[in-house]
Structure 1
């Protein structure tokens, strides 16, 4: 009769003694497409936010914005935070890259997808801090693509834990409204946001021994 360690039941990652994770599955990643000669509806490029934290952003710009006159109305700005349980994925993960391309094209918006620090190497509130730092970075940036964005029409968006991060970024942005001007948060688009409260809900108590939930609680903070 043998027993199996709970950590070995996770097919996606294994915890290391030093508190880091070995992520066992390599998710597909997509490189940026910044070349304006490409016949594609949305261009993309990567820019560093904070080199010391290894945080960065992928910017998506509708191709036709490059041909608009200076007096043409600017595009809405969507700041996007990817999902992944605080543990997985990056801004260049193919699933989220494709989503941002479709979003930028369908809404004719400038999309900034933030690559924040992941747990458990960087536990909460690291992701929250990175989410707000990204807003300050956008405000201060002199990037030509971001010059096409209307900073007074900024929306925070994502699903699952990205929705959690966007929500917390919105709360902090409200408290720092003067510091992030002319950036103005007009709304949040939260798709099935992942939240946890101070008190357990009846379903959480009923599933208290569920291995997935135990792992998340131990990893993120």
Structure 2
């Protein structure tokens, strides 16, 4: 959520480095610089990237990352990624997320599509979910149409039978809901797996880890509450299905139809109890779940600690290799 350089303050808006305007919009202070797409591979970068328009009326787009070393017949898996930022901050072009997608593209290797979705509170949920499923439709249409095909998404280079949804923190929440929405696509498009890295969920009743880590430097409880206040539909509380996947909602009966899921959890994350509850719920509904729990750490540690970065990349690589027999 917050930058690791942030200090705890009583003002939750200050945690996110945003200012609430009288009209309900936010003024956002830039924490991370924005990176342009990389048209040429230069040392030490071996990944090409470019932006394509998703929905011009919504001003959404996708940044595509392609390993420079990939051959024209590589048949790489596809990862549709949703960045974090508490639903209210950051961009697919923000430096940490751009760099993370570059690393993912080379380490797996894969074609990574990072989605620029609309932010709350200007666009409250389910706006981000709508943008997410737009991205899935875009990939599906690339798979079934020979017209206007993006040159990096040809069947020789991209293996459309291995398309994964991935997100960290609030992006993990978006990936989860996008996977549920993808079950109803017409024409259909199969998602091979879902990667939920420290997914962000909540609820009205406090968990032990939320209370114990209420003053956490990265994800303090009062900032977490503000996030949901700004992101959820007007009048909704934290037991809304967008926030609390344990509460019955319109998609609750579809959970058992989800594809295999990787859920990554850190013991030092205030959301750890929520994430364990998510795993138990998914398993209880028959979903094939790979759970990776790491002692210690903190929310978003893989963006700042090289050892945890490697662990994250390896977990994703192993999960993708395990799905469909590693095809």
Equivalent residue in structure 1 for 2:58, among 53, 56, 63: 53
Matches of 2:16 and 2:47, distance apart in 1: 35
Matches of 1:89 and 1:8, distance apart in 2: 15
Q: Deviations over 1:22-76 (max 9, x none)?
A: 012342111101236x5642100011100000000100011122x43xxx35110
SS in 1 for 2:97: helix
Residue 105 of structure 1 corresponds to which residue in structure 2? 106
Matches within 5 A, 1:96-135: 96-135=97-136
Residue 153 of structure 2 corresponds to which residue in structure 1? 146
Number of corresponding residues: 208
Q: Given the alignment of the two structures, is residue 22 of structure 1 paired with residue 27 of structure 2, yes or no?
A: yes
Q: Given the alignment of the two structures, is residue 43 of structure 1 paired with residue 38 of structure 2, yes or no?
A: no
Matches of 1:26 and 1:210, distance apart in 2: 21
Change (3 A) 1:9 1:59: closer
Matches of 1:7 and 1:18, distance apart in 2: 19
Residue 227 of structure 2 corresponds to which residue in structure 1? 216
SS in 2 for 1:64: coil
TM-score by length of 1: 0.85
Matches within 5 A, 1:71-90: 72-90=73-91
More strand by share: 1
Matches of 2:13 and 2:52, distance apart in 1: 37
SS in 2 for 1:46: strand
Matches of 2:74 and 2:221, distance apart in 1: 51
Equivalent residue in structure 2 for 1:194, among 200, 203, 221: 200
The Cα shift of 1:175 comes to 2.4
SS in 1 for 2:81: strand
Residue 163 of structure 1 corresponds to which residue in structure 2? 172
Change (3 A) 1:162 1:95: same
Matches of 1:137 and 1:11, distance apart in 2: 32
Matches of 2:20 and 2:63, distance apart in 1: 29
Q: What is the RMSD computed on CA atoms of the aligned residues?
A: 2.4
Residue 33 of structure 1 corresponds to which residue in structure 2? 38
TM-score by length of 2: 0.59
Equivalent residue in structure 2 for 1:62, among 58, 61, 67: 67
Matches of 1:35 and 1:24, distance apart in 2: 30
Q: Is the 8 A contact 2:74 2:158 kept in 1?
A: no
Change (3 A) 1:180 1:114: farther
Change (3 A) 1:16 1:64: same
The Cα shift of 1:188 comes to 0.8
